[in-house]
Chain A
Amino acid sequence: MPTVTMTVNGQQVSRDVDPRTLLVDFIRNELHLTGTHVGCDTSQCGACVVHVDGTSQKACTMLAMQADGCEVATIEGLAKNGELHPMQAAFKEHHGLQCGFCTPGMVMSAVDLVQRNPDPDEHEVREWLEGNICRCTGYHNIVKAIQHAAKEMRG
Chain B
Amino acid sequence: MTRRGPVFAPDDNAAAPARARPTARHKGGVSETAPHDSALRHVDGGAKYIDDMSEPAGCLHLALVTSEWAHARITGIDTAKALALDGVATVIAAGDIPGENDMAPVMPGEPLLPPEVAEYVGHPVAAVAAADFETARQAAKLVEVHGEPLQPVLDLDDAIAREHYLLAPIVFQRGDPGPALSEAPRRLQGGTRVGCQDHFYLETQVALAVPQEDDEMVVYSGTQHPTEVQHIVAHLLAVPHAAVQVEVRRMGGAFGGKESQASLVAGLAAVAAAKTGRPVKLRLDRDSDMLVTGKRHAFKLDWDVGFDDDGRILAVDMQLAGQCGWSVDLSPGVLSRALSHADNAYYYPHVRLTGLFCKTNTQSNTAFRGFGGPQGMLAAEAMLDAIARSLGKDPLEVRRLNLYAAPDRLLTPYHQTVEHFRIPEMIDQLVASSDYARRRAEIDRFNAGNDVIKRGLALAPVKFGISFNKPEMNQAGALVNVYTDGSVALNHGGTEMGQGVFVKVAQVVAEVFGIDLTAVRATATTTAKVPNTSPTAASSGSDLNGMAAKQAAETIRERMRAVAAEQLEADARAVTFAGNQAVAGNKTIGFGELAQACHQARVSLSSTGYYRTPKIHFDRETNRGRPFYYYAHGVAVSEVAIDTLTGEWKPLRTDILHDVGSSLNPGVDRGQIEGGFIQGLGWLTMEECVWDAEGRLLTHAPSTYKIPTARDVPRDLRIELLQNAPNEEATAFRSKAVGEPPLMLANSVWLALRDAVHACGPGGRAAALDAPATPEKILRAVEAMRP
Chain A residues with CB under 8 Å of chain B are 28, 32-42, 44-45, 47, 74-76, 78-79, 84, 88-89, 91-95, 97-104, 107, 122, 125-127, 129-130, 132-144
28 sampled A-B residue pairs with Cβ under 8 A: A35-B44, A38-B51, A40-B702, A45-B202, A78-B44, A88-B43, A89-B43, A91-B42, A94-B7, A95-B667, A95-B668, A97-B42, A97-B43, A98-B36, A98-B253, A99-B201, A99-B203, A99-B497, A100-B38, A100-B252, A100-B498, A125-B710, A133-B709, A135-B200, A135-B255, A136-B202, A139-B678, A139-B709
Q: Which of A34, A129, A134, A140 contacts B52 (CB 8 A)?
A: A34
Q: Is the CB of B711 within 8 A of A39?
A: no
Q: Closest CB-CB distance, B35 to chain A, in whole Å?
A: 6
Interchain CB contact under 8 A, B45 and A34: yes
B5 at the interface (CB under 8 A from A): yes
Tell me whether B40 and A92 are in contact (CB under 8 A). Answer: yes
Contacting residues of chain B (706-752) with chain A, CB-CB under 8 angstroms: 707-711, 713, 715, 717
Q: Secondary structure at chain A's binding surface: helix, strand, loop or mixed?
A: loop
**Given contacts A41-B285, A88-B43, is CB(A94)–CB(B8) below 8 Å?**
yes
Q: Does A84 contact B44, Cβ atoms closer than 8 Å?
A: yes
Q: Knowing A34-B52, A40-B702, A75-B45, say if A95 contacts B707 (CB, 8 Å).
A: no
How far, in angstroms, from A15 to B45 measured CA to CA in the complex?
23
Residue contact B253 to A99, C-beta cutoff 8 Å: yes
What is the CB-to-nearest-CB distance from A11 to chain B, in angstroms, rounded to a whole number? 15
Contacts of B287 in A (CB 8 A): 41-42
State which of B174-182, B230-238, B295-303, B669-677 sits at the interface with chain A.
B669-677
Which residue, A34, A94, A142, has most C-beta atoms of chain B within 10 A? A34
Chain B residues, Cβ within 8 Å of A134: 202, 710
> Which residues of B sit under 8 angstroms from A41, Cβ to Cβ?
285-287
A101 contact set on B, CB distance < 8 A:
49, 201-203, 252-253, 498
Q: A39: which B residues are within 8 A, CB to CB?
A: 202-204, 252, 286
Complex contacts, A76 vs chain B, CB 8 Å: 44-46
Q: Mark B650-694, 1 if CB is under 8 A from A, else 0.
A: 000000000000000001101100110111000000000000000
CB-based nearest B residue for A122? B715
Are A133 and B48 interface neighbours, CB within 8 A? Answer: no
Could you say which of A28, A95, A99, A125 has the most chain B C-beta atoms within 10 Å of its C-beta? A99
The answer, yes or no, to whether B39 is at the interface (CB within 8 Å) is yes
A100 to B444, CA, bound (A): 43
How many angstroms from the CA of A132 to the CA of B708 in the assembled complex? 11
CA distance A139 to B677 in the complex (A): 11
Report how far A94 CA is from B33 CA in the complex, Å: 10
Contacts between chains A and B (CB distance < 8 A), count: 187
Please tell me if the beta carbons of B36 and A97 are within 8 angstroms of each other in the complex: yes
A134 to B499 alpha-carbon distance, docked (Å): 13
Q: Which residues of B contact A28 (CB under 8 A)?
A: 52
In the complex, what distance in Å separates the CA atom of A39 from the CA atom of B115?
Answer: 32
* A138 and B713 contact, CB distance less than 8 A: yes
**Residue from B35, B677, B709 within 8 A of A95 (CB atoms):** B35
- Complex contacts, B500 vs chain A, CB 8 Å: 98
Tell me whether A138 and B36 are in contact (CB under 8 A).
no
In the complex, what residues of A have CB within 8 A of residue B668's CB?
A: 95
Measured CB to CB, the closest approach of chain A to B307, in angstroms, equals 36
Known: A91-B43, A133-B702. A99 touches B710 (CB 8 A): no
From known contacts A88-B43, A103-B42, A133-B709, infer whether A141 and B286 are also in contact, taking CB-CB under 8 Å. no
A35 & B46 in contact (Cβ 8 Å cutoff): yes
Verify B41–A100 contact, CB threshold 8 A.
yes
| Chain B residues whose CB sits within 8 angstroms of the CB of A133 once the complex forms | 200, 202, 702, 707, 709
Query: Can you name the residue of chain B whose Cβ is closest to the Cβ of A74?
Result: B45
Among B6, B675, B713, B717, the most chain A Cβ lie within 10 Å of the Cβ of B675
**Residue B703 CB within 8 A of the other chain:** yes
- Pick the residue among B33, B45, B54 that contacts A104 (CB under 8 A): B45
Which chain A residues lie closer than 8 Å to B286 at the CB level?
A: 39-42, 45
Q: Verify if B701 is at the interface (C-beta below 8 Å from A).
A: yes
Pairwise interchain contact B710-A130, C-beta atoms closer than 8 A: yes
Can you list the 4 inter-chain pairs with the closest CB atoms, starting with the nearest?
A35-B45, A99-B498, A101-B252, A100-B42
Docked CA distance A104–B47 (Å): 10
Output the nearest chain A residue to B719 by Cβ-Cβ distance.
A140
Contact residues in B for A132 (Cβ distance below 8 Å): 709-710
A30 to B433, CA, bound (A): 55
Q: Which residue from B40, B204, B677 sits with its C-beta under 8 Å from A138?
A: B677
For the complex formed, measure the closest distance between the CB of A64 and the CB atoms of chain B, giving whole angstroms. Answer: 14
A141 with B674: CB separation less than 8 A: yes
Measured CA separation A99–B252 after assembly (Å): 5
Give the Cβ gap from A76 to chain B, nearest Cβ, in Å: 5
A47 to B7 alpha-carbon distance, docked (Å): 24
Find the A residue at minimum CB distance from B5. A140
- CB of B250 within 8 A of chain A? yes
Residues of chain A contacted by B717 (CB below 8 angstroms): 138, 140
- Find chain A residues with CB under 8 A from B252 CB: 37, 39, 99-101
Residues of A within 8 A of B711 (CB): 126-127, 129-130
Q: Is the CB of A103 within 8 A of B43?
A: yes
Residues of A within 8 A of B92 (CB): none
Minimum CB distance partner of A139 in chain B: B710
Q: Please name all residues of chain A whose beta carbon is closer than 8 Å to the beta carbon of B6 when the two chains form the complex.
A: 138, 140-141
In Å, the complex CA distance between A137 and B36 comes to 12
B251, CB-defined interface residue at 8 Å: yes
B710 near A143 (CB under 8 angstroms)?
Answer: yes
For residue A42, which residues in chain B have a CB less than 8 angstroms away from its CB? 286-287, 701-703
Which among A102, A122, A127, A137 is the interface contact of B674 at CB below 8 angstroms?
A: A137
Q: Which residues of A contact B285 (CB under 8 A)?
A: 41
Q: Mark B219-261, 1 if CB is under 8 A from A, else 0.
A: 0000000000000000000000000000000111101000000
Q: Tell me, in angstroms, the Cα distance from A36 to B49 when the chains sit together.
A: 11
B202→A44 contact, CB < 8 A: no
Q: Which residues of B contact A84 (CB under 8 A)?
A: 40, 43-44
How far apart are A10's CB and chain B's nearest CB, in angstroms? 15
Rounded to whole angstroms, the CA-CA distance of A140 and B711 in the bound complex is: 10
Shortest CB-to-CB span from A44 to chain B, Å, is 4
| B 1-29 to A, binary, CB cutoff 8 A, 1 in contact else 0 | 00001111000000000000000000000
CA separation between A143 and B200, bound complex, in Å?
Answer: 21
CB distance from B670 to the nearest CB of A (A): 8
Complex contacts, A104 vs chain B, CB 8 Å: 42-43, 45
Tell me which of B46, B51, B499 contacts A98 (CB under 8 A).
Answer: B499
B49: chain A residues within 8 A (beta carbon): 34, 37, 101
> Across the interface, which residues of B come within 8 angstroms of A97, CB to CB?
36, 39, 42-43, 498
**Minimal beta-carbon separation of A125 from chain B (angstroms):** 7
Indicate if the CB atoms of A44 and B701 lie closer than 8 Å.
yes
Nearest CB of B to A31, in Å: 12
Instruction: Give the complex CA separation of A25 and B662 in angstroms.
Output: 45
Q: How far is the CA of A126 from the CA of B674 in the complex (A)?
A: 16
Is A136 a contact partner of B253 (Cβ separation < 8 A)?
yes
Please measure, in the bound complex, the distance between the C-alpha atom of A88 and the C-alpha atom of B35, giving whole angstroms: 13
Chain A residues within 8 Å of B250, by CB: 99-100
Known: A135-B200, A138-B677. 6 other contacts (CB 8 A): A42-B287, A99-B202, A99-B250, A100-B250, A126-B710, A139-B708
Q: How far is B676's CA from A140's CA once the two chains are assembled, in angstroms?
A: 12
A140 and B43 contact, Cβ closer than 8 Å, known pairs A40-B701, A135-B679 = no
Given known A-B contacts A95-B8, A138-B674, A140-B5, A37 and B202 have beta carbons under 8 A apart: yes
* Chain B 389-400 near chain A by CB (<8 Å), digits 1 or 0: 000000000000
A89 to B43, CA, bound (A): 8
Residues B713 and A79 in contact, CB atoms below 8 Å apart? no
Nearest CB in chain B: distance from A118 CB, A: 19
